A and B are shown apart, each in its own frame.
Chain A
Amino acid sequence: GAVVSQHPSWVICKSGTSVKIECRSLDFQATTMFWYRQFPKQSLMLMATSNEGSKATYEQGVEKDKFLINHASLTLSTLTVTSAHPEDSSFYICSALTSTDVQTQYFGPGTRLLVL
């Protein structure tokens, strides 16, 4: 149980385009999901917390207009990188909380974004 998927697993796009990444909880409902960014050989950096039906809470220094987060249902959260630039290239990972264990985050497999 507590399986989280992400789509796509990798994406290459041109500078200036927007990219949407999906995070789904497959076998549970997730009222809260998190979005992280990970640079090579570094730890995870929390970008934002996504709550179903409400606006996302962004961490300090994360541009909310750049990284649009939508959590429209209890099983889906999306991260849209708008007007992507090469410096946005990174590994993006989502996680989710289950209603039965609100203290444990279950992570998706990640999405690698390369902006040319």
Chain B
Amino acid sequence: AQSVTQPDIHITVSEGASLELRCNYSYGATPYLFWYVQSPGQGLQLLLKYFSGDTLVQGIKGFEAEFKRSQSSFNLRKPSVHWSDAAEYFCAVGPSSGYNKLIFGAGTRLAVHP
């Protein structure tokens, strides 16, 4: 079955600390991978995506993610978190061709302490 797992429901970090949000997926074929961020009461904003090529992808707002095929993971990282990064983060996978139906993880809520 196709699925996306974000093991951490809540994460709290101090401002300036590093961050890693975990994402593991189960998918029958090579997927396309996405990270989205959602602020309270807002829609989703695309942070970054991986289609092919370099497995370390850079996104907006200083985020990066690394695709590890052997571990079926696509973890999101940021070296220094800002208070404005507090939000809900969703990992999603989709097919590399054909009908683009995204499968979302449950989300990780990030809190940032000053």
Contact = CB atoms under 8 A, between A and B. Distances in A.
- Asked whether A and B interact, the reply is yes
A102 B100 CA distance: 8
Interface stretch (A13-21, A38-46, A63-71, A74-82): A38-46
A33 B90 CA distance: 19
Contacts of B34: 104
Chain B contact patch, size range: 20 to 34
B100 A107 contact: no
Interface of B: 32, 34, 36, 41-46, 49, 51, 90, 94-96, 99-102, 104-107, 109
Contacts, number: 47
- If over half of A's interface residues share one DSSP class (helix, strand or loop), that class is named, otherwise mixed; here it is strand
A106 B105 CA distance: 17
Nearest to A49: B101
- Please classify how large the interface on chain A is, using the bins under 10, 10 to 19, 20 to 34, 35 or more: 20 to 34
B51 A103 contact: yes
Given A43-B90, A44-B90, A107 B45 contact: yes
A102 B95 CA distance: 11
